[in-house]
Structure 1
Amino acid sequence: MPSLSSRCYTSLLFILFSISTYAQNTIRIACVGNSITYGATLANRERDAYPSQLQNLLGKGYEVLNFGVSGRTLLRDTPAAYTTTSQYQDALKSNPNIVFIKLGTNDSRLPYRLKIDQFVGDYKSLIQSFKTLPTNPRIILLLPVTSFLTDTTRQVDAAIRKLIIPRIQQVAFDEKLELIDLHALTATDSLLFPDKLHPSAPVMTTIARRLYEAVTLKTQPNFDIFSKIKEPVSVSSFYGYDCADFTFQGRACKVVKPRVVATGKPWIWRARFWGHEPQTDIALLDRGFHLVYCDVAELFGNAEAVELWNKFYKYMNKAGLADKVCLEGLSRGGIYAYNWAVENPKKVACVYVDAPVLDLKSWPGGKGKSKGSPSDWAIFKKDYGFTTEVEAMNFKGNPLDRVPQIVKGNFPMLHVVGDADDAVPVSENTEPFEKQVLALGGKITVIHKPGVNHHPHSLPNPTPIVDFILKSIGN
């Protein structure tokens, strides 16, 4: 029988082995940042700072480390450079598996913003210091949260939007790194920033949940849609993401790929007005969606447009994207989205339209409350082969005329509308459409923006739109 000392020694070895194994299997996450990461102004920062809340969400198997330092800049040539701190050295020594970098807010203030031309180079140097670690960490860049300060010498939002965010997106594009847009995510939270700069605990919860989504996102490795495009392409940056421009069937097309591809390879198809109010598109790219565009302007959703889209869908689907696509239509893009959806209901995951044209007599016809657009009305008549006003007025190919077929498609629909829209009046478009859909048992949600005209489209914080789309694909 083993002696007591022998049994104790064996137990100690087992404990040490277990600890070592746990340490090796634990995913370490380094949160690098400024006072917002640190949790300044929070009553209980150890509990409420977003790194702490992220730790609680992730639980066992993860170790989230807070390396935030108040007042620090990304820029190196300042007395407040983050890279001069002990926390920066500790972050490197932690050998993280994942690094979240949230710096840039303080670089937007005077006098630091006068050195903004050094920002990109300094950011790349910081990234390189983490890239060379033996853990080869996954590095994710966080766009700054919104600032609600008004003192223009400080970290005002105009400076963050114009000077900081585009440069972080450039770095992400150059270094091929992931992005998370915290700016749009906090755009409507002014009442939750007590000092107009630092978020309160509820906003920290929102940030932590968003980072949790990124950490736990199920991905599809080794998929590159650009390799499937046969036509010559030119690649440029779309808000930090790689965008391939090419010509297909004589039409200008675009495909933007995410840094990490979500399982199932979901995609969103912008029908019209590429790049306008892109916050929903950016948020979905952050979450592993592809974004595509096939320019069929200005065919007003006629048979030629539908057939071109049929071919483009087949091309994208054959390239590997999901069988069902999320359609996005702003303004007249609503005509394109719905006219294609009604012909291809089994290929549609959902439809999101914004201030949508659903009756061409309303716009561009101007036959109701809207002034319309005589030049576009003439184009519409030409597109559909109408030679008289009577023929155009008797047109029955509007989404508003095809509600029964649309409802049969059984896909969810989201409309975002400005109640004061005088270009595409809600009362002539979404309102009668919604009534018909609901009467037939269809699935439609309408978000109203009181007092808002046709512009601006979308929502400053696109979370309700994003959540609708994620739910539609089963996330």
Structure 2
Amino acid sequence: MKKIFGIVVVSLFFLSSQVNAQHKIRIACIGNSITYGATLPNPEKDSYPGQLQNMLGDGYEVMNFGVSGKTVIRNGDNSYVSTKKYEEALQSNPDIVTIKLGTNDSRLPYRLKLDSNFIDDYKALIHSFQQLPSKPKVILLLPVSSFLKDSERQTDEVIVNQVIPKIRQVAYEEKLEMIDLHSITADKESLFPDKLHPSVLGETILAKRIYESVVSKKKMDFDIFSKIKEEKKNSSFYGYDCVDFIFKGRNCKVVKPRFSASGLPWVWRARFFGIEPQADIALLDRGFHLVYCDVAELFGNQEAIDCWNAFYEKMHGAGLSKKVCLEGFSRGGIYVYRWAVTNPKKVACIYADAPVLDLKSWPGGKGKSKGSQEVWEIFKKDFGLSSEEAAMDFKGNPIDLVPQIVKAGFPMLHVVGDADDVVPVDENTKIFEERVKALGGNIMVIHKQDVKHHPHSLKNPQPIVDFILHSVKF
């Protein structure tokens, strides 16, 4: 009897193990040597698929199908689809497929075929997985940065200017999720010992980003475009669906992510839409919406505020979260702070980049900056300032509104170039920061040494992204 009982227990344990195994989410990692883990001490554990397995735990099975040197392009001697690993991947019954290819397509002679072969061959690869009985979700991983200088090899110039735009086009046309591994490695040369392959720590960065995407809460059924009744023009914004439309006589844009993050967070670019978009793209990757309403050269006057109030109601009424993340580049700093002061409960945070915070500095040119006399006159007209004395006495600058801004309580991040001679830091962010901190406000400033007004943002936008993610707390 005891023997029979023991057999039953063992059988039940075996059946339970089979059930648990069947319920594991299977992730097939398609890629090249970086996926495989070439140059690493222990590729099985140290590669990003190996580390991803450790992060995800027993509920997942992460399978590494990386093969060194392989390309998306089929017409060549190193095509990924000609490998045994590709056949194994097709037979693995995956629930999720990540594809990290394209780096080797950037080298000679394969780069000569990029325009004629890459997009069709990439789509064929995707379709081969989508047609599997398991109907896996396919996620495209943008190639990591390359620090090689040999122009015949995998150079970052070709990856950035030729390979990545094509992958984004594929993502746009196939409506697939993307994860940008390029920007998060752009300032990590020290983690690429041979200038091409990440170290163990470099692979950790990749694994963490993929992990975030896999475990994040995603809302797949929200379509803000259906809530916009105005006539729309469709386009691609770095692989994401964008619509342009007219609202209250103003040009507007809305970019929707492939999935919506929990809480439907959004970023509102105040000015210079699409300039240095790396933070915007990273947030789209994470499920944020991106919006724009053009109130150019109104400098946050009452007309601009009224227009933005109406646009906010339209976006929030369409379902986006109550609080928005405001993003002000250059003169956009004036726009976001003036609107925030009148709408403090609608602001999750402000990210200001080389922001104008005192119009006397720019466009006034009353200090170190040359300013712009033409724009100075526009500002005076916007606020009904009939004289130079009245303009100089204007008290609606963000540096004048610090008490109201601090009282509102939202966190602020400024990114500035210390050598900025257009919007000098000493006349803008430095004064603003000192006044905010004196009143106990929440501000952080990232300084870029030897950088002028341009380029804006950060090559690796992770600090900006982390600030915004922490601010929205979704």
Q: Would you call these one fold, judging by a TM-score over 0.5?
A: yes
Q: Which moved more, 1:376-385 or 1:457-466?
A: 376-385
Amino acid in structure 2 at the alignment position of 1:236 = S
**1:48 equivalent among 46, 49, 62:** 46
Give the aligned partner of residue 152 of structure 2: 153
Q: Does structure 1 residue 312 correspond to structure 2 residue 311?
A: yes
SS for the counterpart of 1:385 is: coil
**1:68 equivalent among 45, 66, 69:** 66
Give the aligned partner of residue 443 of structure 1: 442
Identity of aligned residues (%): 66
**2:97 equivalent among 72, 96, 99:** 99
Q: CA deviation at 1:45?
A: 1.6
How many Å separate the matches in 1 of 2:292 and 2:161? Answer: 26
Amino acid in structure 2 at the alignment position of 1:109 = R
Q: CA deviation at 1:3?
A: 6.6
Q: CA deviation at 1:51?
A: 0.5
SS for the counterpart of 2:328 is: strand
Amino acid in structure 2 at the alignment position of 1:54 = L
SS for the counterpart of 1:130 is: helix
Give the aligned partner of residue 248 of structure 2: 249
Deviations 1:178-226 (A, max 9, x none): 0111110100011111111111111111110000000011112311111
Counterparts of 1:323-472 in structure 2, within 5 Å, are 323-472=322-471
SS for the counterpart of 1:363 is: coil
Amino acid in structure 2 at the alignment position of 1:428 = E
**2:20 equivalent among 8, 22, 41:** 22
How many Å separate the matches in 1 of 2:233 and 2:197? Answer: 41
Counterparts of 1:147-186 in structure 2, within 5 Å, are 147-186=146-185
Counterparts of 1:193-212 in structure 2, within 5 Å, are 193-212=192-211
SS for the counterpart of 1:326 is: strand
Residue segments in structure 1 that go unaligned for 5+ positions in a row:
none
How many Å separate the matches in 1 of 2:155 and 2:221? Answer: 40
Deviations 1:300-342 (A, max 9, x none): 1111111110000000000000000000010001000100001
How many Å separate the matches in 2 of 1:17 and 1:46? Answer: 28
Q: CA deviation at 1:24?
A: 1.8
Amino acid in structure 1 at the alignment position of 2:223 = D
How many Å separate the matches in 2 of 1:218 and 1:201? Answer: 28
**Large movers: runs of 4+ above 2 Å:** 6-13
Residue segments in structure 2 that go unaligned for 5+ positions in a row:
none
How many Å separate the matches in 2 of 1:349 and 1:220? Answer: 20
- Aligned residue pairs total 473
Q: Normalising by the residue count of structure 2, what TM-score does the alignment of the two structures yield?
A: 0.99
How many Å separate the matches in 2 of 1:36 and 1:472? Answer: 33
Amino acid in structure 2 at the alignment position of 1:201 = V
Q: CA deviation at 1:162?
A: 1.0
How many Å separate the matches in 2 of 1:348 and 1:130? Answer: 42
How many Å separate the matches in 2 of 1:122 and 1:20? Answer: 37
Amino acid in structure 2 at the alignment position of 1:129 = S
SS for the counterpart of 2:231 is: coil
Q: CA deviation at 1:60?
A: 1.3
Deviations 1:93-123 (A, max 9, x none): 1111111100000000000011112100000
Give the aligned partner of residue 89 of structure 1: 87
Q: CA deviation at 1:376?
A: 0.7
Amino acid in structure 2 at the alignment position of 1:65 = M
Amino acid in structure 1 at the alignment position of 2:412 = M
How many Å separate the matches in 2 of 1:8 and 1:135? Answer: 36
SS for the counterpart of 1:121 is: helix
How many Å separate the matches in 1 of 2:454 and 2:301? Answer: 25
How many Å separate the matches in 2 of 1:118 and 1:219? Answer: 33
Q: Normalising by the residue count of structure 1, what TM-score does the alignment of the two structures yield?
A: 0.98
SS for the counterpart of 2:272 is: coil
SS for the counterpart of 2:440 is: coil
Q: CA deviation at 1:17?
A: 1.9
SS for the counterpart of 1:65 is: strand
How many Å separate the matches in 1 of 2:413 and 2:118? Answer: 40
How many Å separate the matches in 2 of 1:393 and 1:72? Answer: 63
Aligned CA-pair RMSD: 0.9
Q: CA deviation at 1:262?
A: 0.5
SS for the counterpart of 2:98 is: strand
Q: CA deviation at 1:11?
A: 3.0
Give the aligned partner of residue 32 of structure 1: 30
How many Å separate the matches in 1 of 2:22 and 2:85? Answer: 23
How many Å separate the matches in 2 of 1:350 and 1:113? Answer: 43
Amino acid in structure 2 at the alignment position of 1:412 = P
SS for the counterpart of 1:414 is: strand
How many Å separate the matches in 1 of 2:268 and 2:201? Answer: 33
Q: 1:90 to 1:394 in 2, by over 3 A?
A: same
Amino acid in structure 2 at the alignment position of 1:110 = L
How many Å separate the matches in 2 of 1:201 and 1:301? Answer: 48
How many Å separate the matches in 1 of 2:366 and 2:135? Answer: 62
How many Å separate the matches in 2 of 1:280 and 1:363? Answer: 25
Deviations 1:396-415 (A, max 9, x none): 11101100000001000000
Amino acid in structure 2 at the alignment position of 1:393 = M
Give the aligned partner of residue 239 of structure 2: 240
How many Å separate the matches in 2 of 1:42 and 1:247? Answer: 53
How many Å separate the matches in 2 of 1:80 and 1:94? Answer: 22
Give the aligned partner of residue 144 of structure 1: 143
How many Å separate the matches in 1 of 2:95 and 2:14? Answer: 22
How many Å separate the matches in 1 of 2:306 and 2:282? Answer: 29
How many Å separate the matches in 2 of 1:12 and 1:115? Answer: 57
SS for the counterpart of 2:261 is: coil
Q: CA deviation at 1:9?
A: 4.3
How many Å separate the matches in 2 of 1:220 and 1:166? Answer: 26
Amino acid in structure 1 at the alignment position of 2:156 = D
Q: CA deviation at 1:368?
A: 0.5
Give the aligned partner of residue 112 of structure 2: 114
SS for the counterpart of 2:86 is: helix
SS for the counterpart of 1:80 is: coil
